[in-house]
Amino acid sequence: MNKKYELPRTIYATEEHQMFKETVNQYLAQHVLPNREKWEKQGYCDREAWLKAGELGLLGITLDPEYGGMGLDFTFSSLVIEEQARAGIAAPGISMHSDIVIPYIEAYGSEAIKRKYLPKCASGELIGSLGMTEPGTGSDVQAITTFAEDKGDYYLLNGSKTFITIGYTSDFTIVACKTDKRKGAKGISLIIVDSDLEGVSKGEPFAKLGLKTSDTCEIFYEDVKVPKGNLLGEEGQGFVYMMRELPRERMTIAIAAIGAVRGALELTVDYTQQRKAFKQPICAFQNTQFKVVEVASALEVTTAYVDRCTELQSRHELTAEQASIAKYYSSDMQCAMIDECLQLFGGYGFIWEYPIARMYGGARVQRIYGGTNEIMKVMIARSIFAEYFTTLRAKMKAKRAKAAQLN
């Protein structure tokens, strides 16, 4: 495929990046893609693939080498996410473990917690997941009800989490819970909960529309005694920590989106040159050419924004608004463009055996998790109309104060 239209991508410009890319693609070809069918059937990925990823330095890419990481910048994480999405396979959930869970522990864990969890996370001996969503609430994180009651030297944890990525495989989950029921956001804390503690149970992996090689499940907590030392950072600061870390999570989704469209485009260019209708290749029709040009253009323009955000994230300069734009825009683009690609496969596009069908299924959730695209727009709008919202909040506060006086 001739790619003369592509802009040079400066984020992966070094020789180190190119070598790393080769390692990632060799890993995917040898240890991941051959297992796709088996993992799809069982609904989760085998531990060997995690251990191999750890051996190759693909877990804990940005983690400090003192804790077993590679100490590289976020552009290397981005390469792994993009190449994996381009290959069209979700398992193993490297980005959840390596780019979401590990950074929470590194940033907010005590020294003892970091020493206990991080080296094994980097080697793949321990896998972590993140539990924010509950059966009763997703977008409204402040409304979570999972409660960790302070019992002196331990927390007594009760509640449940749902839709937890690699929850079934994981050895521990960072659980967002209330430590003060009277408060909203300020009552939320983050606690590491080991999966083998008494009172922790898990549902079977959900049967999903896509990403079938990677598990997603419910986790239940019933009178679980969690050591106090497993608290990340300070009590009541969980919401603040999540707001700080979510831009990175949103970037993993944006990067996966451009990787997936790149993969879909390559498959489509190949297929439309092979497949014939009316005695000519499908690519001879102007409609096919125009559709492919539209996909390539949408991908290029989005890549430029996402790359810029990736650079900013690697320097810890990315704002929440930039990450939200990258997430919602690129995942919308992914769904629309993969749909266009699938159309050019005709009936074969609907058959699971064809990678384009799996890419279509996998794309859909990108607009939902990591904060729905509607929530991204709510956040961006709040920032754009900051003046209006500040005045509104002040008016409401004054109204409440007046009502309290009258009572």
Ligand X SMILES: Cc1cc2nc3c(=O)[nH]c(=O)nc-3n(C[C@H](O)[C@H](O)[C@H](O)COP(=O)(O)OP(=O)(O)OC[C@H]3O[C@@H](n4cnc5c(N)ncnc54)[C@H](O)[C@@H]3O)c2cc1C
Contacts of 8 (CB under 8 A, 6+ apart): none
Beta carbons of 71 and 64 less than 8 angstroms apart: yes
Beta carbons of 367 and 332 less than 8 angstroms apart: yes
Nearer to ligand X, 80 or 166 (CB): 166
Nearer to ligand X, 206 or 348 (CB): 206
Residues 104-143 as x/- pattern, contact with ligand X by CB under 6 A = -------------------------xxxxx----xx----
Distance CA 293, CA 287 (A): 10
Nearer to ligand X, 16 or 374 (CB): 374
Nearer to ligand X, 246 or 265 (CB): 246
Distance CA 170, CA 194 (A): 9
Q: How far is the CB of 164 from ligand X (least distance, A)?
A: 5
* Number of CB atoms found within 10 A of residue 142's CB: 13
The backbone torsions φ and ψ at residue 156, rounded to the nearest 5 degrees and listed phi first, read -100, 110
Q: How many residues bind ligand X (CB under 6 A)?
A: 20
Q: Half-sphere exposure (CA, 13 Å, Cβ side) for 200?
A: 19
Distance from chain centroid for Cα 33: 20
Q: How far is the CB of 167 from ligand X (least distance, A)?
A: 7
The backbone torsions φ and ψ at residue 18, rounded to the nearest 5 degrees and listed phi first, read -65, -40
Q: How far is the CB of 367 from ligand X (least distance, A)?
A: 9
Nearer to ligand X, 68 or 371 (CB): 371
DSSP result, 141-204: GGG---EEEE-SSEEEEEEEEEEEETTTT-SEEEEEEES-TT-SGGGEEEEEEETTSTTEEEPP
The backbone torsions φ and ψ at residue 74, rounded to the nearest 5 degrees and listed phi first, read -65, -20
241 binds ligand X (CB under 6 A): no
CA nearest to 86, candidates 359, 304, 305: 359
Residues 342-371 as x/- pattern, contact with ligand X by CB under 6 A = -----------------------x--xx-x
Nearer to ligand X, 56 or 380 (CB): 380
CB-based closest residue to ligand X: 138
Q: Which residues pair with 176 in a beta bridge?
A: 190
Among 39, 50, 155, 163, binds ligand X (CB under 6 A): 163
Residues 373-392 as x/- pattern, contact with ligand X by CB under 6 A = -xx--x--------------
Residues 164-203 as x/- pattern, contact with ligand X by CB under 6 A = xx--------------------------------------
Catalytic annotation, pick one of 249, 294, 321, 353: 249
Instruction: With contacts defined by CB under 6 A, name the span among 161-169, 184-192, 230-238, 391-399 that binds ligand X.
Output: 161-169
Three-class SS state of 269: helix
Alpha helices in 6-150 (DSSP H): 15-27, 36-42, 47-55, 74-87, 94, 102-108, 111-123
Q: How far is the CB of 335 from ligand X (least distance, A)?
A: 14
Among 62, 216, 237, 324, binds ligand X (CB under 6 A): 216
Q: How far is the CB of 56 from ligand X (least distance, A)?
A: 24
Contacts of 25 (CB under 8 A, 6+ apart): 83, 87
Tokens of 203: 């549902």
Q: How far is the CB of 170 from ligand X (least distance, A)?
A: 10
Q: How far is the CB of 36 from ligand X (least distance, A)?
A: 17
Is 340 a catalytic site residue? no
| Residue list 46-105, contact with ligand X (CB under 6 A) | none
Q: Which residues are catalytic?
A: 249
Residue numbers at the binding site for ligand X (CB under 6 A): 129-133, 138-139, 163-165, 211, 216, 365, 368-369, 371-372, 374-375, 378
